[in-house]
Structure 1
């Protein structure tokens, strides 16, 4: 069955059937994970059932929708084509923001890494989450495994929004992209961020070295991801789920592994702060401190309890640190 429309009541019955509960228990705003106990496997089941409406069978599972209302809006946009896909997600749009903060996610991840951050930034600031193709509402777009191409894609999205003070914060792969995006703005003589935050990623350099996850065999890659944390067991241990998401991981890791740093890059005339988990075994302190050579205004290294995905437990502390760093530039 394919259709060009879907009602919220049809989706309510569909979800209730997957959960084996009464439809009235699926309210429009009930959170899938926290109130309905929908985990990754149940989301995959719902995604498969929704594919009957003519969307890819893994589009919903990767979309990041968290309520029935969001699911209905997502499917309506997919089926009618009313809203063109954009890599920008604004969880709390602000009509005339005093500042904008752009957040870039890690390899294999999505904007959901920053779920809840909007609650902790000033009310007159706008949070802009950048999503790479192949996930979320961009599920139908081809993956981008080249750093320069993804920077170009993000640049086109952020360019119209650089009309007020703004900052970039990127975690892991997102740190590389935030740095390269800033370099792109510098080369094009466009507005520069008031501040740049790089998290859990060593400074680019000829001696950075490291493993090449995109070349690992499946079992090795899953073991490597498991050791780093951040990936739920349902994704790594279930073959069906892994097959759907493995291409995203491999594409993103290829982007990181194949990117070549420029020799002796010009230091950025932008304040830069480094963030990391104290127990992160993937990044050595020397590579974190090496960022000092890539900026004219190094604001230091801030460490938090936790491993590579320390930020999942420190959203409020991190947003406070970012707000303090950017506040001098915000009116």
Structure 2
């Protein structure tokens, strides 16, 4: 069985059936105990049905420690894809001989779940590889990494065996920085380079830090307010005092990585085709910052903007998949 069989909507319906509520009430981040009133008997029933539906060992749900639908889904994905269960690479549709691989890097405070459902919009002979940073999802027991170079090291070691065929990188926000820095690392060490690099909702590196906010130093109230203004984080997460402490360290660690990263001075342009993506109503990154990426590549492929804010990607999976596919194929031609 593969993680392609772990459909989050089916899992949502399963839990809603046990609780006798509508599926839309089981939001991704709704806390089982605090918001959905799941007691020990109900959790036992959910566990039994999950074990039957997905053919996983007894007590899998209990062992997972999952507190939300998103966490349970991530854990089941990790358990059902045995070859990647202990690492940061999640392959929703594993292939023995893919024509190409696309590595997807998530945003600050996020996880590989940003890209759930993307695989169905790509060619059947492409393998999508969703990168998961430590401290979240099925890697929640691992310590968080708040340094850019160390996170690049971590991902570099994980994907090295998978660079044996044409591949591309796409990163959103924090993920764009990691994807760029990983491409630089591959270039510096003489490793295979991506056919194409896509950066989303993140401005090109600047030598001067400027006067941007430094979210990792904000108080809890300030950070929650800032995240609300940016969009993309659910009210169930930001407004629930019982849930917030679980996610706050992840946000702070990721923002510390961004806030303390020292951009390279006069970096050599990458010999990799690079495309830029953004939301038209993004309050964090304007068009000028996005276009400044042209100086960081010898083959700038332009900017594509979509309706939406910093997290426009959530509403444009299909057109983004089409744009990425076209860009990778064009770059490889």
TM-score range normalised by the length of the shorter chain: 0.7 to 0.9
Going from structure 1 to structure 2, the CA distance change for 1:281 and 1:47 (only over 3 Å counts) comes to farther
Q: Please, what TM-score do these two structures have when normalized by structure 2?
A: 0.82
Separation in structure 2 between the aligned mates of residue 309 and residue 117 of structure 1, nearest angstrom: 15
How far did 1:211 drift? 1.1
Please name the residue that 1:85 is paired with: 86
Separation in structure 1 between the aligned mates of residue 121 and residue 295 of structure 2, nearest angstrom: 31
Separation in structure 2 between the aligned mates of residue 199 and residue 98 of structure 1, nearest angstrom: 24
Going from structure 1 to structure 2, the CA distance change for 1:62 and 1:189 (only over 3 Å counts) comes to farther
Contact 1:33 1:66 in 2 (8 A): no
Deviating more after overlay: 203-212 vs 280-289: 203-212
Please name the residue that 1:189 is paired with: 190
Separation in structure 1 between the aligned mates of residue 33 and residue 308 of structure 2, nearest angstrom: 29
Please name the residue that 1:326 is paired with: 328
Please name the residue that 1:259 is paired with: 261
Separation in structure 2 between the aligned mates of residue 17 and residue 299 of structure 1, nearest angstrom: 45
Separation in structure 2 between the aligned mates of residue 324 and residue 243 of structure 1, nearest angstrom: 41
Contact 1:47 1:61 in 2 (8 A): no
SS of the counterpart of 2:281? coil
Q: Please, what TM-score do these two structures have when normalized by structure 1?
A: 0.82
Runs of 5+ unmatched residues, structure 1: 1-11, 26-31
Contact 2:152 2:178 in 1 (8 A): yes
Of the three residues 277, 285, 288, the one matched with 2:287 is 285
Of the three residues 32, 40, 43, the one matched with 2:29 is 40
Separation in structure 2 between the aligned mates of residue 106 and residue 183 of structure 1, nearest angstrom: 19
- Tell me the alpha carbon deviations over residues 183-203 of structure 1, each in whole angstroms, 9 at most, x when there is no partner: 000011000000000000000
Of the three residues 234, 237, 255, the one matched with 2:236 is 234
Separation in structure 1 between the aligned mates of residue 292 and residue 28 of structure 2, nearest angstrom: 40
Separation in structure 1 between the aligned mates of residue 274 and residue 315 of structure 2, nearest angstrom: 22
How far did 1:65 drift? 3.5
**Root-mean-square deviation (Å):** 3.0
Q: Which runs of structure 2 are paired with 1:191-230 in the superposition (5 Å)? A: 191-209=192-210, 210-230=212-232
Please name the residue that 2:73 is paired with: 66
Aligned residues: 301
Q: Which runs of structure 2 are paired with 1:91-130 in the superposition (5 Å)? A: 91-130=92-131
SS of the counterpart of 2:30? helix
SS of the counterpart of 2:242? helix
Contact 2:231 2:311 in 1 (8 A): yes
